[in-house]
Every structure is written in C-alpha cells, then in structure tokens.
Amino acid sequence: MGVTGSDFRKRVYRLVAQIPAGYVATYGQLAFLAGSPRASRIVGAAMYYAPFSLGLPCHRVVYRDGSLCRNGAFGGEDRQRALLATEGIPFLPDGRVDLCHCLWPGPPEQEEVAAPDSRQG
C-alpha cells in the first residue's frame, strides 16, 4: 500500500499521539519517522483530516521553518499559537516556533511506528 493508504496515516497518528506538551514536530520529520521521507504533504493532509475523536495534539505539528499552519486547520494560526504558548513553546520574534529549543527528538523506539521491513519474509 502506498503512502496515501490507511497504514501510513495510522503510523503518522501514532507518532503525533507521542509528541509531548512542550515539543513540536515538523511535517517532514513525521513523514521520515513514518517511513516515507518525501510524504510531508500527505502528513499535512492526515493532520487536516484527523478525526477529532482521536484527541491528537495536531497543533504540535509545524512547518520545517517553525511556521504555523496557515490554512485554518487547528482553529487557525492564532489558535495554534495560543495552544502552543500555553504549553511553553518559545517563539522567535518573527512569530515562528523556535525549533532549536522545542523540536521533538522522536519516539524512543522508532521501530514501533516505522514501515514494515521489506527484507523480512
């Protein structure tokens, strides 16, 4: 199944669920950790359409330069900024997240969310 399939989306959702308060991840970082490094836009779509019932902290996902979501997802840029500020996320003077101080290092055991190893068999 390709990166647009539900398996990839589930891996992304499992990763996002692990991002603790006080940290952010980037779309590209999540794509890489989920096993498809070039799928950052698909990660973005997965965040946009994530079922609210999952309770995912989608507001903790930002662009690679620390910019916030500009398309109204997560309640809009102001809402995303407020949620992150409440969690102690630092911002640069230009309004971007200061990734040097709060970029999530990833899950402790990456193999739990990575794509299946095609060498197994």
SS3 114: coil
C-alpha gyration radius of the chain:
14
* pTM metric for this prediction: 0.84
Q: For the beta carbon of residue 109, count every other beta carbon within 10 angstroms.
A: 8
CA–CA separation, 32 vs 52, rounded Å? 24
- Exposure on the CB side of residue 121, measured as CA atoms within 13 A: 3
So what's the pLDDT on residue 6?
85
Show which residues are catalytic.
Answer: 58
* Among the listed residues 111, 81, 114, 83, the one whose alpha carbon sits nearest the alpha carbon of residue 95: 81
Map out the domains of the chain with their CATH numbers.
6-104 (1.10.10.10)
So what's the pLDDT on residue 117?
46
What is the H or E stretch that residue 42 is in?
helix 40-48
Confidence of residue 113 (pLDDT cuts 50, 70, 90): low
The partner residues of 62 in beta bridges, in order of sequence, read 26
Residue 54 contacts residue 13 (beta carbons within 8 Å): yes
Write the pLDDT tens digit of every residue in 46-101. Answer: 998 898 899 999 999 999 999 998 876 777 889 999 999 999 999 999 999 999 99
What is the H or E stretch that residue 79 is in?
helix 77-86
Least confident of 30-44, 55-69, 82-96, 105-119: 105-119
CA–CA separation, 46 vs 27, rounded Å? 10
